Amino acid sequence: MGKDLVPWSVNQPLPAVLERAGANAKFATEEYFKAMLNNEHTRRAYGRIVRNFLTWLDERGKELHLITPGDAGEYFGQLTGSTPTKNQALAALRHYFDVLVTRHAVPLNSFASVRGIKHRIVEGKTAELDTNQSRKLFKALDTSDVIGLRDRAVLLTLAYTGARVGAVAKLQMGDVRRHGEQWSIRFNEKGGKQRDIPVRHDLRTCLIAYMEAAGVLDDAKTAPLFRASPGRRKNLTAAPFAEQDIRRMMKRRLNHATLSTEFSPHSFRVAVVTDLLKQDVPLEDVQYLAGHSDPKTTLIYDRRRRSVTRNTVERISNVISQLD
């Protein structure tokens, strides 16, 4: 069993408690991380959670197969961080122990009895990039070279589709479906979901300008749509424009436009949902555009209630001022 059994650093040995737990526990751990968790981000997050738990066991001299619901509750109770972070840890460990039970490495799922923390999100925390701020950002873009044309195309794709930045980073040439003047983009979202989003005429114009300048208009369907640039050079490579690089690019562009760097690619997603709901677009249509399985998730992105709150506060202030 190699050191890359689970997604923590290959320079670190397996926790001693897992080594002592035997072949079944190692097999279950490998199955859990290599076969059952398809999403890379989930795999890394759950890897940290499981390693932290196994390290906690080692520090207390506890064996994996002897963990009781009381031990599980004690571990959950001492976790720090936000409520979603704690509940994510509980979900990861419940799932991990399910696999350990199935592979006869432990007799029971000790985390099945642990109660999570109730947490209801009414409104998300992501800052909304409003129309005026968006216009200021795009107006400040220098599109005299291929880098500027690429950045404009990336940001417009985020602004006009509401797609997640990870889905934009993964776009390939074949995902841009060209049917004469009618274009659409096929996004591969979380959970294996696919969505075809029509391309606005102005986004199509900017995509063509970028692809012509980059010389990729006729590239293979499997080639990345948006290409990385090496350092400060004004040319592109054959490598895809990675998600983290898109985030950094947007921060630079926000700085140049003298806008707050608290905005992120996700801010466009919030703006799209809020704008469409303001225009009375049916919730189910907005939900599909955003790629949400539950309409409650879509409503978390809705910032209309903020203006209602401000209006209400202003009315209270007016009433009080009349008493002076």
Domain spans in the chain, listed from the N-terminal domain onward: 3-113, 131-307
Q: What pLDDT, on the 0 to 100 scale, is given for residue 191?
A: 65
Report CA dihedral (6, 8, 11, 13) to the nearest 10 degrees: -50
Mean pLDDT of all residues in 120-145: 79
pLDDT digits (tens, 9 = 90+) for 194-223: 788 888 888 999 999 999 999 999 999 999
**CA distance readout (Å), 191 to 42, 43, 308:** 11, 13, 35
Residue 10's identity, in one-letter code, is V
> Is the fold of 3-113 the same as that of 131-307?
no
Q: What pLDDT, on the 0 to 100 scale, is given for residue 297?
A: 63
By residue count, the chain amounts to: 324
pLDDT digits (tens, 9 = 90+) for 240-290: 999 999 999 999 999 999 999 888 998 888 887 777 777 777 767 767 666
Mean pLDDT of all residues in 33-55: 88
**Residue bearing the bigger pLDDT, 276 or 63:** 63
Q: Mean pLDDT over all residues of the chain?
A: 83
Lowest mean pLDDT among 39-43, 185-189, 305-309: 305-309
pLDDT digits (tens, 9 = 90+) for 79-109: 998 888 899 999 999 999 999 999 999 999 9
pLDDT digits (tens, 9 = 90+) for 151-167: 999 999 998 888 889 99
Q: What pLDDT, on the 0 to 100 scale, is given for residue 274?
A: 76
Architecture of the domain whose range is 131-307: Orthogonal Bundle (1.10)
3-state secondary structure the chain: CCHHHCCCCCCCCCCHHHHHHCHHHHHHHHHHHHHHCCCHHHHHHHHHHHHHHHHHHHHHCCCHHHCCHHHHHHHHHCCCCCHHHHHHHHHHHHHHHHHHHHCCCCCCCHHHHCCCCCCCCCCCCCCCCCHHHHHHHHHCCCCCCHHHHHHHHHHHHHHHHCCCHHHHHCCEHHHEEEECCEEEEEEECHHHCEEEEECCHHHHHHHHHHHHHHCCCCCCCCCECCECCCCCCCCCCCCECCHHHHHHHHHHHHHHCCCCCCCCHHHHHHHHHHHHHHCCCCHHHHHHHHCCCCHHHHHHCCCHHHHHHHHHHHHHHHHHHCCC
**pLDDT surpassing 50 at residue 317:** no
Lowest mean pLDDT among 13-17, 129-133, 281-285: 281-285
Q: What pLDDT, on the 0 to 100 scale, is given for residue 246?
A: 95
CB 32 within 8 A of CB 94: no
Q: What pLDDT, on the 0 to 100 scale, is given for residue 123?
A: 47
Per-residue confidence band for 295, with pLDDT thresholds at 50, 70 and 90: low
Mean pLDDT of all residues in 67-85: 91
Q: Hey, which residues does 172 pair with through a beta bridge?
A: 224
The CATH number that domain 3-113 falls under is 1.10.150.130
